[in-house]
Every structure is written in structure tokens, then in C-alpha cells.
Amino acid sequence: MFEGFTLERIDVGDAELRVRHGGTGPPVLLLHGHPRTHVTWHKVAPVLAEQFTVVCPDLRGYGESSKPPTTPDHAPYSKRAMAGDCAALMRGLGHEQFCVAGHDRGTYVAQRLAMDHPALVSRLCLMEGIPIAEALDRCDAKFAASWYHWFFFGQTEKPAERFINADPEAWYTATAEHMGHEAFEDYRRAIHDPATVHAMIEDYRAGLGIDRTHDDTDRAAGRRISCPLLFLWAAQDDMEDLYGDPLAIWRDWADDVRGCSIDCGHHIAEEAPAALATHLTSFFAPS
């Protein structure tokens, strides 16, 4: 996987990130979701690397990146903290402005990166998520039935970690056939590490509290995403069933929004890598 890429661990201040980077051209940052690692991009990143410098980190807490101690408000696992890691990472690699793509939980980190560090992000692709504040505002019985894990993970009275760690592969059901053997083994190591499971759950606890507060504060202040935004969603997932037209939601947060669905399931980079690479190449190409 990732032929020609460099794999290293980079200190970004409050965390150390496992990072793979390679290629030549304008810089692109790819942010994975839960419970994946940066390896989820292994079919997409090499294609992009033909035209771009591609940077793929494990988000803090995920994979082999460090797991800072948490706090009662879960701020160390807020998307603001993760976005700060990404800003420091890209600056450390010499990139003062770059494109970003985020999937699933990585969507929230990418959104926060564009909101908190607008001078850094030239173009933004988000996949399979609407702002956390919007999702929670729209939460109904249908959402709760489909996405109950948000609330299972989010509570602390009966921590989810105990149940997941009892049999991680029963809870997380990816397969080598789906992901590819090497990618699956990387993912499998992550889900069998109790420290990683705890950190991934902390991401969701932050989501129900401090992350929502950050979204609400931005919305009340009228802050918007200033760069062009491409939103992609999986036609075989439930984005349209839950929200109708997701582009209409993102237009409340950004001025320049475009997007479409891709005929696949939730893990777009693994299920439709060629289509995703085509969309990203076209959108991120310099004018």
C-alpha cells in the first residue's frame, strides 16, 4: 500500500500523529472517519499523488496516533483540538494553504479546520455528514434508531468501551474482503487496542457536548465556511432518507456549495475509490 509514500510520526504539539505523505503538486489533506485509520485512503491517495502532494494522518486518538488524557468536558477530543493538530501538521510540512477532504468523523474535523483556520483551507470536500449541531437539532426517532451509537458512545454511566473491548470484531464488522488484507490488518490492530477504543469513544462524547457548542456559537455569530465546498454522500446510505437534500443544509454554512451522491455504501474511499478520486481530482485541481 501507498507505494512511494513516506510513513512517519510527527509531533504537532499536544499530540503525535502517524502520517503518510507522498506525491508532488498542490497539497491535499485527507481525514478518515470512525473507526478507520488513514489507511482507508489506500486506494485513493496514490491516484491523487499523481497530481497532488497527499497527506494522510491518523487523527488524534485513532490508529497509531497518540491518545492525550481526556478531561470532564472531553475537550482534548473536540474537533477543534483535532483541527488544530491538522493545522500544525500541514504547517510543519511546509504547506501554508491546502485542500482538505474529510469523511464521517473526519468531516467534522475538516469543517472545524475550515471554520477555525480559514486562511489555510483553499477548498473543502466533506463526505457523509452534516454539521453536528444540525444533526442533533434534527434528531428524531428515525435518527435515534439508525444512529443509536452516537448516544451509546456519548454517555458515561455505562461506558461503551467495556462492551466493545469484550469482542471488537463483533461490534466493528469490516472484513478483509471489503477493505483489502493490509488495510484490514491495520484497522484490526486499532480496534483491538483498548486505548484507541477509549479515544475513539471520547470523540463521540465531545460530539454531543463541546463540539455542538462550537457549532452553535459559530452559527449564532454568523460565521461561515469561506472556501468552495464539495459535499459527497453515499447513495446506498441514509443521508437523503434522514435529511432530504443535504446540500441545502450545507448552504446555511457556506456560500459556495456543490455536490452529488456516489453509488456505494458509507465507506466511499473503500467502495468507490475510482469515482471518489475523479471527483477530488476535478474539484481540487488548480484553476
Residues with a catalytic annotation lie at 104, 266
Alpha-carbon gap, residue 170 to 156, rounded angstroms: 21
Grid coordinates representing 27 are 497539497
Distance CA(88)–CA(287), nearest Å, equals: 26
CA–CA distance, 122 with 119 (Å, rounded to integer)? 8
Residue 3 vs residues 37, 38, 43, 114, 177: alpha-carbon distances, Å: 17, 14, 11, 30, 21
Cβ contacts of 166 within 8 Å, gap of 6 or more: none
CB 171 within 8 A of CB 163: yes
* Pair 86, 113: CB distance under 8 Å: yes
From residue 189, alpha-carbon distances to 15, 36, 239 in Å are 20, 11, 30
User: How many of the other CB atoms lie within 10 Å of CB of 133?
Assistant: 18
CA distances from 280 to 49, 108, 272, 273 (A): 12, 18, 12, 10
